[in-house]
Structure 1
Amino acid sequence: MKIAPNTEAETTEKIQFSIVIHGGAGTIKKENMTPEKEAAYKQKLEEAIRVGYTILKNGGTSLDAVEKTINVMEDSPLFNAGKGAVFTHEGYNEHDASIMDGKTLNAGASAGTKTVKHPINLARAVMENSPHVMLSGKGAEVFAKEQGLEIVDPSYFYTESRMKSLERVKASENNKIASFYDETLKDTKFGTVGCAALDKHGNLAAGTSTGGMTNKRWGRIGDAPIIGAGTYANNTTCAVSSTGWGEYFIRGMVAYDISALMAYKGLSLAEASKEVIQNKLPSIGNGEGNGGIIAIDKHGNMVMEFNTSGMYRASMNDKGELYIGMYKD
């Protein structure tokens, strides 16, 4: 596997196409990772990004690249999306997703679905085949069936590791809701997959898919399906996908804020991303606004910015140079 340097230096030179992905941010440390598990994550990240890279290389659209790349991660139990989604307090898997087209500013999202195999496909169907931006719950599932999307029994999403995580969180509660946010279980609120891409036609797109927060209750919805918080794309600036503690990403409208800083203050993608993730986001959460983003600008420059100990991430440019990262380098 070739792992190229993570060169995030920006340039005005036009790059034909590029793609960047994340598989979630959180407490990801090398000392806690077995060689086998590390290899598994790297293999799946490479598999996913190469799917999108191939689409872009062959002249495909950024929307197709984003959707198909996320499908690979949704099919893997390694990530908190699709097959690897975490469990709610009631023992279900509830999925949220969104996608946005930087050319038209059209967007689609779904929330709280339990039977749609690929939530990102549903988000795109909402964007392209409905007059709405977001559908939720049973209605979203009815729409998915009408669109011919793949429907599965909820048991498809069951994984032993995610169930054990739910059991650990429940054991820590001691009948106190406050302990839901116990520091020792802080990563229960993290986990998302996302992709941003620039195609040969100069169009940007971004998408995000997640199972949300372990032990979530009351129909909780995080930032992943919220346009401007978990996902944003605009051809005049950038495309962004977020991962982290969703409540703070919603309050900070993180994805849109990065684009706005570029549009209104003239910041570069790297400058805007650093300002939002390292300064603004933590201040919103009194130090608890943790997570990261992956983003790409209209020139093809890519950024992978996070304030946690790690973020599963990968990028490829039009030269075929591959970068894969997990920890703070």
Structure 2
Amino acid sequence: MTRLRLALAAAIFALIAAPAAAQETPRWSFAIHGGAGVIERASLTPEQDAAYRAALHRALEAGQTILADGGSALDAIQAAIQVMEDDPLFNAGRGAVFTAEGRNELDAAVMDGATLNAGSVAGLTTTRHPIGAARAVMEQSPHVMLIGPGADSFAASVGLEQVDPSFFFTERRWRGLETALRAQNLPIPPRPAGAPGPQAANDLPQPPLNERKFGTVGAVALDQQGRLAAGTSTGGMTAKRWGRVGDVPVIGAGTYASNADGCAVSATGSGEYFIRATVARDICVSTRGGATAQAAAETEIADVGSIGGDGGVIVMGRDGAPAFAMNTSGMYRGAVSSSAPAQVAIYGDEDLQP
């Protein structure tokens, strides 16, 4: 009888202890975006739709691999964004849009929510991975933001890969520039030195040339140590002039992370409005005040819309629940966590289940 009581007690203890043990298991969560805008089913062929979804899955896998192995949120973000910077489907890195002068000028930012350290770069033309440059500014310089040739020079000085500017060239972005300049009655610059001829274009599958999408890629993460981080990278706006810089490298506008506030944010959209509304920081202020990540994201995007801006955000809460909000018809996006498989979506009416 005593043995039976001991066995029953052991069984009851195991049942009680099991949930507690499960709760102690470290969690991680990861979410990405690849730009928001007028992205509708009628505008993408089945092949183009499939290509974007496959690209999003590759980026998610890069981040997931690091987080599942106990790596940092910052490492996961950099790995995923570098995948997208190298993919000509996205407007970041190779595949970035052109300025009115016919150059690719690249911006990026990263922020560590655990320390509030941040780094950003703007107007890069030779650094292969702008997100890597932004992280180097954060970790290897006394500064937060570097711009132009100086930013490229710094990136080279810390060993980041440099490329000829023609590396970033894609034919569909060049043709998009020509269309935009004609519409504004502006001169079309010569093709960049080293760029292939039009007959050499092979960056398929090519979305329609009139695709209206705000080209930014980004990621937010919560790692197993409970650290939040955010990163964003972009080629900016087609036919931008006068050294225009958008919200991406402006900490608190397009990128922000704070463990104390309980959120990490990466934005994509009409940058001028996101700067005016200090979108990313405002979302984190709301979560600090008790709002859920989803509620804070939706409220802020509504505010952006009220002043004339379009776009979207991804937000990671301290509980690992990702949030997505947009006032456009679509946003390339995806999420994965220790408790949910990788999922991706494109159109506004698609849901990503937690």
Flag the structure with larger Rg.
2
Tell me the secondary structure at the aligned position of residue 36 of structure 1. Answer: helix
Counterpart residue number, 1:316: 336
Output aligned runs, 1:99-110, within 5 Å. Answer: 99-110=110-121
Residue 268 of structure 1: how far off its partner (Å) = 1.1
Classify 1:175/1:74 alpha carbon distance in 2 versus 1 (closer, same or farther; 3 Å): closer
* Aligned pairs (5 A) from 1:1-329: 16-174=27-185, 187=212, 190-236=214-260, 237-264=262-289, 266-277=290-301, 279-285=302-308, 289-329=309-349
Deviation at 1:328, TM superposition (A): 1.2
Q: Which amino acid aligns with 1:57?
A: A
Secondary structure at the residue paired with 1:83?
Answer: coil
1:186 deviation in Å?
8.7
Deviates more, 1:166-175 or 1:24-33: 166-175
| Matched AA of 1:322 | A
Percent identical pairs in the alignment equals 54
Alpha-carbon separation, structure 2, partners of 1:71 and 1:163: 22
TM-score w.r.t. the length of structure 2 is 0.84
Q: Tell me if the contact between 2:39 and 2:212 (Cα under 8 Å) persists in the aligned partners.
A: no
Normalising by structure 1, we get a TM-score of: 0.90
In 1, are the aligned partners of 2:43 and 2:211 still within 8 Å (CA)? no
Deviation of 1:45 (Å): 0.3
Conserved 8 A contact 2:311-2:328: yes
**Partner SS, residue 142 of structure 1:** helix
5+ residue gaps, structure 1: 1-12, 177-183
Q: How far apart, CA to CA, are the structure 1 residues paired with 2:94 and 2:328? A: 24
Q: CA deviation at 1:174?
A: 2.7
* Counterparts of 1:104 and 1:295, CA distance in 2: 18
Gaps of 5+ in 2: 1-22, 188-208, 350-354
Letter in 2 for 1:120: I
